[in-house]
Amino acid sequence: MLFRTVYGPELEAIYEFIAQANRDGRAPSRQDIHEAFVPRQPGGGFCHTKNADDALAFLRSGRMIQGDGAYRVTTESNGPFKVRLLRAMRRLELGQEEPEHPLDRLYMLILTELFIRPNQLFVRDVHGVANRLREISELGGISREKAQAWKRVMEYLGLGRRAFGGFLCVYSPWLIGEIVEQWPEERGTLQGFFEGYFDHILPYRRQDGDLADAVRLPFEHLAQQGWLALFSLQDSPSRPYFGEHRWKGIARRSDDHDQ
């Protein structure tokens, strides 16, 4: 199940350990993971292994690794670990992968339904509001501990900050920058970018179809800093975004664009 008591950094560390072992021709066991990541007690036994075991369960539920006694990564695609994990969890949300547990599909749905679709930047009581979602309540709800773990992982992934007892959702500019860097095109329409690429990694659309503020703000920041360009395409029939700007085009790190 994705709703595990994990913190974030251990997910990437254990994943990379397994990936390197696979490249070396080995499929590490749970014992190998414990040897590498869990301190030993003075008597020789391992200290608590729950955090490492929860991380393995999370990675397996997220379809990042497979196996139980001998672990292998499911893909060695290029790109940052966080972007790959977000893409894998988004596939679960969209029903493109069969979840290991029914709640796994709802992990990213909380982000979509509490923040992005209603265009809400801050939710104080994530636990209470998430449990009012029909899909979650029908499965018996999630505990306060699971909601806290969800907030920690979202913060680690760059999707916002824990603040004032709740969660402030604004996608981090560095995360957006990494996603744009992995985009296989140099330039194109914003509609094609969001619908054909970005939507496979993260939700972006508020209820009226325009960009949620959590998405719009980091894109505008990166455009102001010159990391990407947003521009008009007057003859294009594609959908405009960014409110009154009505931009239709996007390009990666280029200073010269047709207006």
- Per residue in 130-157, pLDDT tens? 999 999 999 999 999 999 999 999 999 9
In this structure, the chain runs to a length of 259
Beta bridge partner(s), residue 194 = none
The Cα 138–Cα 16 span in angstroms is: 36
Domain boundaries, the chain: 9-73, 81-168, 175-252
Question: What pLDDT is attached to residue 46?
Answer: 63
Pair 101, 61: CB distance under 8 Å: yes
Pair 2, 63: CB distance under 8 Å: no
pTM: 0.91
Token representation of residue 102? 């029914």
Regions of the chain short of the pLDDT cut 50: 255-259
Question: What pLDDT is attached to residue 64?
Answer: 95
Residue ranges in the chain assigned as alpha helix (H):
9-23, 30-37, 50-61, 81-93, 107-111, 126-131, 134-137, 144-157, 173-182, 190-196, 213-224
Question: What pLDDT is attached to residue 176?
Answer: 97
Pair 151, 167: CB distance under 8 Å: yes
The Cα 21–Cα 17 span in angstroms is: 6
Pair 213, 119: CB distance under 8 Å: yes
Question: What pLDDT is attached to residue 49?
Answer: 84
CA 99 to chain centre: 16
106: closest CA among 89, 121, 122?
A: 89
Token representation of residue 103? 């709640």
